[in-house]
Amino acid sequence: MMNTKIDLFTPIQMGAFTLPNRMVMSPMTRLRAVGSIPTSLMAEYYAQRASAGLVVTECTMISPLSNGYVNCPGIYSPEQVTAWQQVTDAVHRKGGKIFLQLWHSGRVSHPSLLNGELPIAPSAIAAIGTLHGPTGKVTLDTPRALETDEIPRIVEQFRQGAKNARQAGFDGVELHGAFGYLIDQFLQDGSNQRTDHYGGSIQNRARFLLEVVEAVCQVWSSDRVGIKLSPSNTFYGIHDSNPLATFSYTLEQLNIFKLAYVHLMEPSEDDLKTRDVINPVISTFRPLYQGLTITNGGYDKFKGNQILETGKSDLVSFGKLFIANPDLPERFILDSPLNELDFATIYSKTDQNLEQGYTDYPSLKL
């Protein structure tokens, strides 16, 4: 009798692709772009990790006014597109597959990052917290509420970002619908108190997300489009009065598109300490979604294999483990020791050697 046990090393058909394993390199903000333009160092970084079944890039700006961090890359200018091509070429030479994560920060930004303009959001409600601007830590300002007639322009920026990603040689795109950024801000009623057809009911609040998905699926076949959601995330004060209903409706609507996957984030320790959140996310929402799911949230080899064996998720994404271990699949296969993560170098700093904690983690010497 054939062994039908599924684990991290079982190949899987994901839309247009047969992936060699079910280990996804999670999108992670690393902030090594220079002037929003990807570099050859970033190409080296992603190529080092091309043995993942799928690589998903860090959050990438769809317009100059979508920025939320210093040294974050963009995908809205010809220079950025050309620069990303060196990244996709490097990953493809290693036999990997790579999706670009399309992102708009919304209210999680500051005028110092936006040429002096206020951040935009569904409603004029400030996010909670601080971020690092060009001259140091800043408090998040109250954003400007988008006018109804401005919203289609934002949708168009996502569409154009998807077109640019194709030109740059990516294999697909992931929409960042999580972590309290713009798509998430429209979806959750703690940040969306609009009175037009983008606010109020769950159907209205999900409208922006679904319009963006539809626009991007007009650029790419839907089996090359994914979306990341975080129903239990509390970053920057994001919250919803009924997340179970809000995200249940959203996932049911996403079934229509037959996407490559939905990437679902489990709550972090901070989320669990902040308030009573849905936990676990994957078990709660998996029955509602008919396509492939990726789960993320503190998985190691044992826990990853365990969740795949239950059938509750189809793939598992790893963040910090992929930062410190460029050859993570090989290490898991061989049960080799893992490199330890240097937390001080996760993000770039102005006085830091950009290679440090980025491309200098060693691979196994076989």
Amino acid in position 108:
V
Question: What is the Cα–Cα distance from 106 to 65, expressed in whole angstroms?
Answer: 9
Q: Which residue has the tokens 């062994």?
A: 3
Residue owning tokens 């893992």: 338
Q: Return the half-sphere exposure (C-beta side, CA atoms, 13 A cut-off) of residue 304.
A: 25
Active site residue 198: no
Chain centroid, CA 202 distance in Å:
23
Distance CA 366, CA 360 (A): 17
Q: What is the DSSP letter of 101?
A: E
CB 245 within 8 A of CB 202: yes
Residues 77, 248: Cα–Cα separation, whole Å: 36
Q: Sign (positive/negative) of CA torsion 116, 211, 29, 265?
A: positive
Neighbours of 333 (CB within 10 A): 14
- The answer to whether the beta carbons of residues 11 and 18 sit under 8 Å apart is yes
Burial of 153 from C-beta contacts in 10 A (0-12 / 13-18 / 19+): exposed
Closest CA to 29 of 121, 118, 139, 132: 132
Q: Which of 45, 76, 181, 198 is catalytic?
A: 181
Residue of 336, 183, 148, 193 lying closest to 254 (CA atoms)? 183
Among 154, 179, 131, 146, smallest CA distance to 62 is for: 154
The catalytic site residues sit at 181
